[in-house]
Amino acid sequence: MKNEVENIQIGKKKFEYKELVTKLGPLLALIVLVIFVTFLNPSFISATNLLNLLRQVSTNALIAFGMTFVIITGGIDLSVGSTLALSSALTAGMIVSGLDPVLAMIVGVGIGFVLGAVNGLLITKGKMAPFIATLATMTIFRGLTLVLTDGKPITGIGDSFIFKFMGRGYLFGIPFPVVLTLVCFAVLFMLLHKMTFGRKTFAIGGNEKAAYIAGIKSDRIKVMIYAISGMMASISGIIITSRLNSAQPTAGTSYEMDAIASVVLGGTSLSGGRGRIVGTLIGALIIGTLNNGLNLLGVSSFYQQVVKGIVIIIAVLIDRKK
């Protein structure tokens, strides 16, 4: 089994030059974008705006990190936005009904993990296409959120310091969501690039049959990966719930799009087997810089959507050229 996995790794080494281009491309795009926006509006580069921007990016980045694993296996997770809303509503509900906020948040993240695992089971045991399985759970989770909240926001979460701190806190002047994102990034980076779990993830995405013959329990890995994706969505949900001081039944609607876009902008291939979580972080920063920068430049929200779409198309076209 080791041999097979190593072969795949060796196979990748041949493309080192191309890998370099893939690695630097997104970063270069980000730098160009930052210079461009700064040139048009110098207030973009101020410390307060950059911290603002990083905090705005954090919720999408967290989801996109989980999505990176899913996409590397050749799958997709459309249910993240609904998972975010459902776990957020349940967490808020638990806090309102008197559960300790810290415990409620831990349970909330656990719920995200379980919801993700449900996706994984449908895909592996149910042999459903990831697109279809998560499309179905996307509407199911959203529906359950609406049932649970009666379509109204859950408010009166109280003033637990730790809960408020999650979305609105500052650690040495840095917004806590940013700190949390960096910690999650470090952990997931190790998991993907330094541990056997990550090697197996790449192996499944590269050639699932070969991975299976090599003795990788791909089903188990995949369920874990979708569970991680759900968990990351629920962490993002806790930040949003804390920032909004309430759980919104429509929270996270279409967040899967920004997450997928970040992963793709970061150079991870939608056909699986190839990708880097660093790229996803840069991709999320590109999306965030576009949102924030276009706002600062006073571009109408309608044009903003057009610009965002065009950037994604350009990124994928460049990716195809390689």
Partner 1 sequence: MKKLVSFFVAGLLLVSGCGAATLEGENTNTDTAVEEKDASELVVGVSVSTLSNPFFVSLEEGIQNLADENDTEIRAVDAQDDSAKQINDIDDLIQQGVDILLINPVDSSAITPAVESANTAGIPVIMMDRSSDSGDVVTLIASDNIAGGEMAAEYIKEISGEQAKTVQLEGVPGASATRERGEGFLNIAEVSLDVLDSQTANFDRAEGLTVMENLLQAHSDIQAVFAQNDEMALGAIEAIESAGLSDEIQVVGFDGTEDGVNAVKDGRLSATIAQQPEEMGKLSLQAAYDFFAGEDVPAKIDSPLELVTE
Q: Which of residues 171 and 314 has its CB atom nearest to partner 1 in the complex?
A: 171
Structural contact between residues 273 and 205, judged by C-beta atoms closer than 8 angstroms: yes
CA atoms within 13 A on the CB side of 302: 0
Q: Which residue has the tokens 């899967």?
A: 256
Whole-number Å distance between alpha carbons of 54 and 289: 9
What 3-state DSSP class applies to 175?
strand
| Residue 247 DSSP code | B
- Contact between 145 and partner 1 by CB under 8 A: the answer reads no
- Contact between 59 and partner 1 by CB under 8 A: the answer reads yes
Q: Which of residues 73 and 88 has its CB atom nearest to partner 1 in the complex?
A: 88
Candidates 170, 271, 314, 322: give the one binding partner 1 (CB under 8 A).
170
Residue 162 is encoded by which pair of tokens? 């730790």
Report CA torsion sign: 114, 259, 76, 213: negative
Residues in 256-275 at the binding interface with partner 1, rule: CB under 8 A = none
Residue 292 is encoded by which pair of tokens? 């924030």
- Contact between 71 and partner 1 by CB under 8 A: the answer reads no
- Contact between 89 and partner 1 by CB under 8 A: the answer reads no
Q: Which stretch binds partner 1 (CB under 8 A): 98-106, 108-116, 122-130, 300-308?
A: 300-308
- Contact between 47 and partner 1 by CB under 8 A: the answer reads no
- Contact between 301 and partner 1 by CB under 8 A: the answer reads yes
- Contact between 164 and partner 1 by CB under 8 A: the answer reads yes
Q: Which stretch binds partner 1 (CB under 8 A): 1-9, 115-123, 206-214, 290-298?
A: 290-298
Q: Which of residues 121 and 179 has its CB atom nearest to partner 1 in the complex?
A: 179
What 3-state DSSP class applies to 154?
strand
Q: In angstroms, give the least distance from the CB of 6 to partner 1.
A: 23
Q: In angstroms, give the least distance from the CB of 149 to partner 1.
A: 12
- Contact between 183 and partner 1 by CB under 8 A: the answer reads yes
Q: Report which of 192, 208, 214, 212 is spatially closest to residue 4, judged by C-alpha positions.
A: 214
Beta partners for residue 247, in sequence order: 154
